Amino acid sequence: MLINNKDASRQTAPMTADPVDHAAAKLPSLLLVEDSQITRAILSRDLSQRYTLHDALDGEQAWELLCANPEIELVVTDIQMPRLNGHDLLKRIRTSPDPRINGLPVIVMTGADDTADRNQAFANGANDFLTKPVDILELQARVNVHHKLTRTIRELEQSRVRLAELANTDPLTKLKNRRSFEEHGAHHLAMARRYKTDLSLLLLDIDFFKNINDRHGHQTGDQVLTQVADLLAEQVRVVDIVARIGGEEFAVLLPATNRLGAAVLAERIRATIEEAEFPVNGAGLAVTVSIGMASLGAEPLDSVADLLAIADKRLYLAKNNGRNRICVNDQGKSNFLA
């Protein structure tokens, strides 16, 4: 059973600080694992001024709280506890498949002569230790250091992820950019060859896009690009890769898709865009696309660049043959039976 910090501390010593509004202050959350009511009350009284505290009487209760409270950012735990001790709790934390849990900083509290416990705690992945009886100022200092360090590491990782996303994402449409498309394409091409599966690619271009920019302005052109991107994303599967690889040019990589499946999707995309409403100044703007297609196994190729080159040649044929159509082969045909 959890013991309320306020009630426990009232039994041992009067509260000298004003109550803290945790919600308003947005204090970071800390999990204190201690089976001694007196020790827990003393530590809680001071830590609660800077942290939102979660209390646990043993490792089992602590583990339940960790799984249920994603806001917990640091753990302070005793070693000797009933049911699940501090060593086993630490092992669970470090072996958790959840990176939120396995990366938590953990400070252990040990007796002054518990050298074996201290060494075992470090072997299990503890970040720091404190000797009982715990000095409050030292506890606050160590908690603050590890909390700030962990937050800094997490913020750096988040920045790294954001930079990676920016490097691989088209800023206007939020689709993958050409660089990212080619990297994914190389991977899927290698997998298709290794496991002898199908792979197809669609290359599409918005018809008369320069006229849209010239007549309605680049802001309208950007709106058309983002709407076409959204329509493409709605038509494909989760495993498919959609990218903006040029000004008004998009590519769709289709793993495990043969020529017929790719042609069916290409025609569906073409018809969807032709039928869609593109509002401009209260009126509808007619937008169509031309699509070229290429498939692994249907033509000789060694790379994603070859796949793109074949699809590009057929895109050119589709435009020369009147636009608003798909082209599946070098004869400029829109289906395999023509």
Give the residue numbers annotated as catalytic, written as ranges: 248
Residue 131, strand partner residues = 110
Q: Let me know the angle formed at the C-alpha of 244 by 269 and 168, rounded to the nearest 5 degrees.
A: 135
Q: 238: which residues sit within 8 A by CB, 6+ positions away?
A: none
DSSP characters over 7-29: HHHHHHS---SPPP-HHHHTPPE
State how far Cα 110 lies from the chain centre: 38
Task: Please state, in angstroms and rounded to a whole number, the distance separating the CA atoms of residues 200 and 264.
Answer: 12
Answer yes or no: are the C-beta atoms of 6 and 15 closer than 8 Å. Answer: yes
Task: Please state, in angstroms and rounded to a whole number, the distance separating the CA atoms of residues 266 and 291.
Answer: 7
Task: Please state, in angstroms and rounded to a whole number, the distance separating the CA atoms of residues 325 and 172.
Answer: 26
Residue 26 has a CB neighbour count (10 Å cut-off) of: 9
Report CA Rg, the chain.
30
How far does the chain reach from its first CA to its final CA, in angstroms?
A: 76
Q: 17: which residues sit within 8 A by CB, 6+ positions away?
A: 49
